[in-house]
């Protein structure tokens, strides 16, 4: 069965520091992977997605993620955190044999300290 | 821009009431989804619909039903609301583009059942 695990329900960084949010997946076939962001009192917005093209994927707001098949990981990074990055971040994987349904990780709340 | 709207941002209902949550998308998407979001659990799929009048159970359908009479509208129904259905409900839509197509989310409805 496919699943997604996000390590760390809360991550806190200082403004200007590196952001690293971890996501590991389990899948018996090459997956499609997504990172979504949810700002307070809003719905989810797509940050980036991996669909078997380049393994390093660039998204909006300076975020990027690298697909590593050997590590079954798709970690999200940003070189320099900004206060406006404070939000909840969700990693998700497509269910390959069920027509586009998504399985979400439990989410990681990112806090950015001034 | 794709727009997914939900009928209410906040809703308070009493135990035993019948509750309707409405979702409308304006991009002619075939697929629509209802999730509930709870702290520490991420998003869990309640029901989804591949097209008009089609519906399939997700991971947690108990206590819920859905209706999709028109392509743009997907309704979630709580037949008899209970306190354990207090949650954030998110609707999403997606074009039928294969597995890599992203889902577009509405702003969510925060439902409180007292």
Q: DSSP string of chain A? A: --EEEEE-SEEEEETTSPEEEEEEEE-SSPPPEEEEEE-TTS-EEEEEEE-SS-SEEE-GGG-EEEEETTTTEEEEEESS--GGG-EEEEEEEE-TTTTT-EEE---EEEEEE-
Give residue-wise pLDDT tens across range B24-80: 999 899 999 999 999 888 899 999 998 898 899 999 999 999 999 999 999 999 999
Contact yes or no for B100 and A49 at CB 8 A: yes
Q: Who wins on pLDDT, B1 or A26?
A: A26
Smallest CA–CA distance from A99 into chain B, residue = B99
- pLDDT > 70? residue B13: yes
Contact yes or no for B100 and A51 at CB 8 A: yes
pLDDT of residue A20: 98
Distances (CA, A) of A97 to A1, A30, A32, A102, B111: 11, 11, 12, 11, 32
Distances (CA, A) of B11 to A59, B21, B108: 34, 9, 11
Question: Which residues of chain B does A32 touch, with a Cβ-Cβ cutoff of 8 Å?
Answer: 99-100
Task: Write the residue in B40, B43, B108 that is nearest to A104 by C-beta.
Answer: B43
pLDDT of residue A3: 85
Q: Who wins on pLDDT, A44 or A101?
A: A44
Q: What is the mean pLDDT of residues B9-25?
A: 97
Q: Who wins on pLDDT, A11 or A100?
A: A11
Q: How far is A73 from chain B (nearest CA, A)?
A: 18
Q: What is the mean pLDDT of residues B95-107?
A: 80
pLDDT of residue B105: 94
Instruction: Report the C-alpha gap between B76 and B33 in whole angstroms.
Output: 10
Contact A89, A36 (CB under 8 A): yes
Instruction: Report the C-alpha gap between A109 and B42 in whole angstroms.
Output: 11
What sign has the CA pseudo-torsion B14, B73, A36, A8?
positive
Tell me the β-bridge partners of A90: A36
- pLDDT > 80? residue B97: no
Contact yes or no for A43 and B43 at CB 8 A: no
Burial tier of A69 (Cβ tally within 10 Å: 0-12, 13-18, 19+): exposed
pLDDT of residue B21: 97
Q: What is the mean pLDDT of residues A77-99?
A: 88
Q: What is the mean pLDDT of residues B71-90?
A: 97
Instruction: Report the C-alpha gap between A42 and A84 in whole angstroms.
Output: 14
pLDDT of residue A1: 67
Q: Who wins on pLDDT, B80 or B3?
A: B80
Q: What is the mean pLDDT of residues A51-77?
A: 92
Contact yes or no for A106 and B41 at CB 8 A: yes
- pLDDT > 70? residue B99: no
Both tokens of A53, joined, read 């093209």
- pLDDT > 70? residue A95: no
Contact A47, A61 (CB under 8 A): yes
Task: Write the residue in B42, B94, B102 that is nearest to A49 by C-beta.
Answer: B102
- pLDDT > 90? residue B100: no
- pLDDT > 90? residue A6: yes
- pLDDT > 70? residue A56: yes
């Amino acid at each position: 069965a496919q699943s997604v695990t996000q390590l760390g329900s809360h991550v806190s960084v200082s403004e200007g520091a590196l952001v690293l949010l971890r996501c590991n997946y389990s899948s018996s076939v090459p997956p499609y992977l997504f990172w979504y962001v949810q700002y307070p009192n809003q719905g989810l917005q797509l940050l980036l997605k991996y669909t078997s093209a380049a393994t390093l994927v660039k998204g909006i707001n300076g975020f990027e993620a690298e697909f590593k098949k050997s590590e079954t990981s798709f970690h999200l990074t940003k070189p320099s955190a900004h206060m406006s990055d404070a939000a909840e971040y969700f990693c998700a994987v497509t269910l390959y044999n069920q027509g586009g349904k998504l399985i979400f990780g439990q989410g990681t709340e990112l806090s950015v300290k001034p | 821009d794709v727009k997914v709207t939900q009928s209410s941002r906040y809703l308070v209902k009493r135990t035993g009431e019948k509750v309707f949550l409405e979702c409308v998308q304006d991009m002619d998407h075939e697929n629509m989804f209802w999730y509930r979001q709870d702290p520490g659990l991420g998003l869990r799929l309640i029901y989804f619909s591949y097209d008009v009048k089609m519906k399939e159970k997700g991971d947690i359908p108990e206590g819920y039903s859905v209706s999709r009479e028109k392509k743009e509208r997907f309704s979630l129904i709580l037949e008899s609301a209970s306190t354990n259905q207090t949650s954030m409900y998110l609707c999403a839509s997606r074009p039928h583009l294969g597995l890599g197509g992203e889902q577009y989310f509405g702003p969510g409805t925060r439902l409180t059942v007292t």
